[in-house]
Amino acid sequence: MREEMSRDDRVFVMGEDIGARGGVFLATDGFYEHFGEERVIDTPLAESSIAGIALGAAMNGLRPIAEIEFADFIYPTFNQIIGEAARVRYGSKGSLSVPMVIRAPYGGGVRGGLYHSQSVETFFAHTPGLKVVAPATPYDAKGLLKSSIRDEDPVIFLEHKRTYRLVQGEVPDHEYLVTLGKADVKMEGDDVTVFTYGLMLHHCLEAARQVAREGISVEIVDLRSIRPLDNETILSSAKKTGKVLIVHEDTKALGVGAEVSAIISEQAFEHLDSPIKRVTGPEVPAMPFSPSLEDVFMPDSDRIVTAIQELAVY
């Protein structure tokens, strides 16, 4: 963000506590001092207008990055994002556009309870006109964020809260971009393909290392972009192994896994050697608070290992 704000003076950030506080997760630490309060706008606690004002500024030549403090607080913005931002280009027949990024820390496993743990990607990914991105590694986060800021359409940029501290990785200082809509094969393998994104990538990698000791070769595809999905990579990996597991923290019904599964069923059915499996969050409205309850919700490497083993012997 800092690089993009230095590169392009149309880029600015707005949101709750992003100024002197530097953001509740310190994403904008030092921005206030460096860029000033004109381009680092501390907003009132009013999410709908954060999205709506960013949208209006984007239609008038700026490139806002709006932060929603927790993805759980994004629901008041639904109308501005789904009802408005997604439709601006289509509803003006191309005369207006919304080069806007909405950043939102999401996801659980952080003792966040019902209102600081949720995954919201599916609500937005269902909507044509939006792009939805969920990086899992620091390298991808930088490259995808830069691409999102430079994109001409509204991007929902979801950062898993647990990855902020849990995951470490190399981030080159130099300029690079990661293209939106491209999945990444994070581990190559032959027996089973696992499609995943966000925090779950790391649980999947752990599970793959475990089953490797049993001689099961796993290919792990990090979707990175939820919309658009990279159908090409999804289909080629599914065809390669013929066995597919989809892992996400979000709940199962009508989720990302359902769409990935449908794409494979429609276009690579004859290449499958087993039914497609999903490991996902359970069908309760939100993630509960107490550790014993939270653990029931969060998919972990043990559940992923079991699912891979079942597929391998199918």
Partner 1 sequence: MGDARLSLPVRKAAITHISSDLATQISMTERFASDVIDGQRLLDLYRRMVLSRTVDERVWMLNRQGKAAIVASAQGHEAAQMGSAAALRAGDDHFYIYYRDLAVLVGLGMTAKQIMLGFQAKAGEPMSGARQFPLHGGYPQLKIVNLSNVVGTQIPQAVGSALACKMRGQNSVTICYFGDGAASVGDCHEGMNFAAIHKLPIIFFCENNKYAISVPLSKQMAVDTIASRAEGYGMKGVVVDGTDVTPVYQATAEAAALARAGGGPTLIEAVVERYLPHTSDDDDSRYRDKDELEEARKHDPLILLKERLMDGGILTEQIYEEYLREAKREVDEATDYVEALPYPDPNDFFEHVYAYQEGESSL
Tokens 């009013």 sit on residue: 46
Cβ-based nearer residue to partner 1, 56 or 288: 56
65 counts as binding partner 1 under rule CB under 8 A = no
Q: How far apart are CA 302 and CA 210, in angstroms?
A: 9
Query: Structure tokens of 85?
Result: 């931002």
266 counts as binding partner 1 under rule CB under 8 A = no
174 counts as binding partner 1 under rule CB under 8 A = no
With contacts defined by CB under 8 A, name the span among 24-32, 61-69, 192-200, 282-290 that binds partner 1: 61-69
62 counts as binding partner 1 under rule CB under 8 A = yes
Nearest to 68 by CA among 82, 58, 78, 59: 78
15 counts as binding partner 1 under rule CB under 8 A = no
Among positions 18, 54, 216, 305, the unique one binding partner 1 when judged by CB under 8 A: 54
217 counts as binding partner 1 under rule CB under 8 A = no
Site for partner 1 in 89-108 (CB under 8 A): 89-97
Q: Which long-range contacts (CB under 8 A, 24 or more apart) does 171-178 make?
A: 171/138, 171/139, 171/141, 171/142, 172/139, 175/3, 175/146, 176/142, 176/143, 176/146, 177/143, 177/146, 177/147, 177/150, 178/135, 178/139, 178/140, 178/142, 178/143, 178/144, 178/146, 178/147, 178/224
Distances 297 to 161, 169, 171, 185, 215 between C-alpha atoms, Å: 16, 27, 31, 27, 29
How many residues interact with partner 1 (rule CB under 8 A)? 53
Cβ-based nearer residue to partner 1, 84 or 259: 84
143 counts as binding partner 1 under rule CB under 8 A = no
Among positions 151, 206, 300, 310, the unique one binding partner 1 when judged by CB under 8 A: 151
24 counts as binding partner 1 under rule CB under 8 A = no
43 counts as binding partner 1 under rule CB under 8 A = yes
With contacts defined by CB under 8 A, name the span among 176-184, 211-219, 241-249, 260-268 that binds partner 1: 176-184
* β 184-187/218-222 pair status: antiparallel
110 counts as binding partner 1 under rule CB under 8 A = no
Phi, psi of 250 (to 5 degrees): -60, 160
Catalytic (active-site) positions = 116
Cβ-based nearer residue to partner 1, 147 or 163: 147
292 counts as binding partner 1 under rule CB under 8 A = no
46 counts as binding partner 1 under rule CB under 8 A = yes
Cβ-based nearer residue to partner 1, 52 or 299: 52
- In the bound complex, what is the minimum distance in angstroms from residue 12's beta carbon to partner 1? 7
Pair 32, 41: CB distance under 8 Å: no
- In the bound complex, what is the minimum distance in angstroms from residue 289's beta carbon to partner 1? 28
Among positions 150, 240, 252, 303, the unique one binding partner 1 when judged by CB under 8 A: 150
124 counts as binding partner 1 under rule CB under 8 A = no
147 counts as binding partner 1 under rule CB under 8 A = yes
Query: Structure tokens of 20?
Result: 């002197």
Q: Which residues bind partner 1 (CB under 8 A)?
A: 12, 38-39, 43-44, 46, 48-49, 51-62, 64, 76, 79-80, 83-84, 87-97, 128-129, 131, 147, 150-153, 177, 179-181, 228, 230-232
